[in-house]
Chain A
């Protein structure tokens, strides 16, 4: 059983204290939605858990691995506000590079992943020629490739149509059913089974 532990986390940006003494545990199969107004620190929290930012106080552990260890980083998949795509590269090339950075997979099936998010026949199109929603879908197709246990998704449904949202919700449910963990932020309605919520 995997467990992500957030212990007494405090975060300050400039003179603003965004949150303090935040503690929670997330176990295998659980999905958590972080709620809060704009500027309440949702993205900062996700970035701290991803290891991008350091908290003022507190610690994060995943199965006893500290947040700055290589073992921890291998278990984390973080998808931020931006799609992390290069306009000059095609969908497959973008996915290849992102997969190289985030996982140790040897030969992932990019074609299948793109097909799952509705981008069949777009594999060799340059990312710069696609719409905002399609770019978002390329980034989210990593969810069909990744073997990371912990998914951190910052506003994953932005620019997606209702069909796209449904595909991603289903994939999050499948990931949790296989023993994975997911933390996401969104201002939109989402229908993920047994989704927990915390407010900042």
Chain B
């Protein structure tokens, strides 16, 4: 399938006569035209509406034909539209951030060309939502625990504090043992959390933790009807680790981590 993309002009250049394009947020199952309010990306208050092909619809808004930087504001605008769609009980299959088409006709062509793939994905994702869970640890608390509980580390620490001689190698050794113990704790916490939440979710995905406080950065795919149960389980596991771990629980999101639709140039790696 080949789609002629919108020609990209640079953001931030003299904004006088920029051509309009159409921004696509997600694909939903929907046969009747719908609007979702004047919440389109770009800050002009553009109407968010649907472009249809058979029983599929792209959720879109008009926008100047510019390249959108992935700023927090832009990402939140993109996100907010999908939030509203979820509230209206649709299950959006998300497009990647910043997807623009030149005309509605291009979008219909895209829907037509990818119809069977999109249908498959929509069936798979029907009534499923994503929740994000990031877990930070209080490293100092865990460290204190380890020093209390780990016989070997405690003894080595005592030796170092009593010793008259150079303790360089003992200190190195201690550092290594502590790092290892911390790693083991972190792995055990993460395993336990996944284990506890497994029943409540259809699938999970583990992303790379961000920064040095985070030990878990996961996404869970959950049945819409069972979201309450999943919430409950997250609350319970968070209580179990109170004081040691802090949980940041977000959603519902469209299943970003479980399906994405993106445009790729056929001949070049530059997207």
Tell me whether A and B are bound partners.
no
Q: Which residues of A contact B (CB under 8 A)?
A: none
Q: Which residues of B contact A (CB under 8 A)?
A: none
